[in-house]
Amino acid sequence: SPIHCNRVPMENQTEVSEFILLSLTSLQELWGFLFTLFLLLYLASVLGNGTILVLVMADPHLHTPMYFFLGNLSCLDIFYSTVTVPKLLAGFLSRHQAISFTGCLSQLHFFHFLGSSEAVLLAVMAYDRYVAICNPLRYRLVMNPHACLLLATATWSSGFLHALMHTVMTSRLHFCGPNHVPHFFCDIKPLLSLACGNTHLNLSLKLILVNVDAAVLGLSSFILTLLSYLYIISFLLLKVQSRDSRVKAFSTCSSHLTVVTLFYVPVICNYVLPSPEDNPERDMVATLMYNIVTSVLNPLIYTLRNREVKTALRKMLGRKLFPGR
């Protein structure tokens, strides 16, 4: 049966008060399988990142700047996937993915708040590795607890303010129908495609909201991350003579580089690379990669490739399984 939108009279127009989120696929026979799949992915993300967070807080050996920022990353990943996945799962069960206008703006805000904060945090983590490898004698002085706390506060604050700009500007748009969002959550690009009113204003807002989001914060964070690692690689190749020292340094960076790649490749495809026409399917696949899949893989990457985290995990499991020892 057709789905009717709730509208509120507004001068000579009608204002949409509810949106309908389109699912990942219109084939309802797949929704049961997709519900199970994304439920397992979400639980894996929460369990994996929660374990990393507990390890970082509980083990004194992990009370270092590197693991302090890793704990922040795990916290971000838990919240980041929580913004979209529970609503997606509820839609698979109810067969009706309605969301209020206020709920839509809230989802948009927290999605970009956490995503922007993660982009900045990855740049901060790259800077931490740069100082540790290229200036090891000054590492404790530069990355002191006060500096780490300041960087973490700046990371979360910049993401919040950046998202707030998008939320306020999107809230000023008028939506007079249709109300079907061509995405599984409320994002800027699909909402702009539904906005009515002044075409030039909508185009200007699209350029501001999408391009500024990608170029100013996301792309600048990516460039800072890239420059940090280019400097690290050149330093190791030109100034470090010991092969063992090079291997050890590269091993400490490999996990973070993998996470950076998994996060930025789909983000760039979604927000930076030009598309000749709107492609909701491509946007949804890219979003699934950096919002859900990356959140699941991050704990595995840092656990499987990091000796200190594996040691802390074995100690914690040993205390739980054999409390008398």
Q: Which of the four pLDDT bands, split at 50, 70 and 90, describes residue 244? A: confident
Task: Give the per-residue pLDDT at 117.
Answer: 94
Question: pLDDT of 122-147, one tens digit each?
Answer: 999 999 999 999 898 899 999 999 99
CA distance 75 to 83: 13
Amino acid at 34: L
Which residues are CB-neighbours of 77 under 8 A, at least 6 positions away?
45, 49, 118, 294, 295, 298
Q: Is the pLDDT of residue 277 over 90?
A: no
Q: Which of 192-196, 203-207, 211-215 holds the top average pLDDT?
A: 192-196
Q: Which residue has the tokens 């994002």?
A: 187
Torsion sign across C-alpha atoms 171, 177, 178, 179: positive
Percent of the chain surpassing pLDDT 90: 33
pLDDT at 4: 42
In the chain, where the domains are located:
28-321
The residue whose two tokens read 């609503």 is 87
Joined tokens for residue 154: 């700046």
**Which segment, 62-66, 168-172, 286-290, is predicted with the most confidence on average?**
62-66
Alpha-helical runs (H) found in 145-293: 145-171, 188-192, 199-206, 212, 220-239, 243-271, 280-288
Q: What is residue 181's three-state secondary structure? A: strand
28-321 fold: Rhopdopsin 7-helix transmembrane proteins (1.20.1070)
Handedness of CA 297, 104, 196, 170 (dihedral sign): negative
Best-predicted range by mean pLDDT (4-18, 140-154, 248-262): 140-154
Output the DSSP codes for 11-52.
TTEEEE-EEEE--S-S-GGGHHHHHHHHHHHHHHHHHHHHHH
